[in-house]
Amino acid sequence: MAFRKWSLWDLTSTPFVGLGNFQTLIADPMFGKVMLNSVIWVVCSLVPQLLIGFLIALGLRKKFRFRGLYQAVVFYPWAVSGFLIGILFRWMFNSEFGVVNDLLMRIGIVSKPVPWLANPDLALVAVIVANIWYGVTFFSIMILAALQSVPDELYEAAALDGAGRWQTLTRVTIPTIRSTLVLTVLLRIIWIFNFPDIIYAMTGGGPGDQTQIATTWMIQYTQQGEYGLASALGFIIMGVLVVFTGMYLMLLNRERTS
């Protein structure tokens, strides 16, 4: 399909067009913007997710009363689909009756309601905030599991050597769980890159394509019935995926043999 002119509006002729679909895509000024948005979407979501997730995992490492209950409650976003999270945040970021504006005004950060999802400069911020909120859970679960597998002897040894808290964290804990960190980050890059749901529900790629990423753009083409272009874009997305998946699998193998 990627190599044919294939549109639902004209199924009588689906000639072979070779790389024509790819040329059409890459010549489109949207292409560069969409790729840039995809990178921003991945990086700006991933870094805060990782940091907050790590902090929460550290906070949960020690036993305390109600820890099990706390985990059960805090990890609930996992059970909810990205699409529904998008709907929830779309309502909270609503410019007329949204609770986000109300809170910001009560604190005094803004003086009048901000049209988050209608403003081309702010919409990308809003969808990334929602995505950060949604992804922290994954990192806290994964990192907590890794932290709990660090042997106590290492900490005892560090304490004997007179290492402080900070040194223990940077010289013992982080190096020990490094492989888990790298693997989860790689998995997450792949996952976020492939994750159109929140954007789809909050802005549909708008306003004016400002929040369009590769996958939302592809879905838009699919829903417009432009299967040839959508498949070509799918090919390009797959190319990106293959690179990162290859890296992930190589690391996974190295982990298993070591």
> In the range 134-193, which residues lie near another protein by CB under 8 A?
136, 141-142, 145-146, 152, 155-156, 159, 165, 179-180, 183-184, 187, 190
Give yes or no for a contact between 142 and 58, defined as CB atoms under 8 angstroms apart. no
**C-alpha angle with apex 11: 235 to 13, nearest 5 degrees?**
90
Helix, strand or coil, per DSSP, at residue 7: strand
Alpha-carbon distance of 219 to 210, in angstroms, equals 16
> In the range 83-122, which residues lie near another protein by CB under 8 A?
83-85, 87-92, 94, 96-99, 102, 105-106, 113
For residue 76, state whether it binds another protein (rule: CB under 8 A): yes
Q: Least CB distance from residue 180 to another protein, whole Å?
A: 6
Q: Least CB distance from residue 19 to another protein, whole Å?
A: 17
**Of 45, 31, 82, whose CA–CA distance to 189 is shortest?**
45
For residue 56, state whether it binds another protein (rule: CB under 8 A): yes
Give yes or no for a contact between 95 and 116, defined as CB atoms under 8 angstroms apart. yes
Q: In this complex, which beta carbon is closest to another protein, that of residue 30 or of residue 249?
A: 249
Q: Least CB distance from residue 202 to another protein, whole Å?
A: 9
For residue 17, state whether it binds another protein (rule: CB under 8 A): no
Alpha-carbon distance of 258 to 250, in angstroms, equals 12
> In the range 204-223, which residues lie near another protein by CB under 8 A?
215, 218-219, 222-223
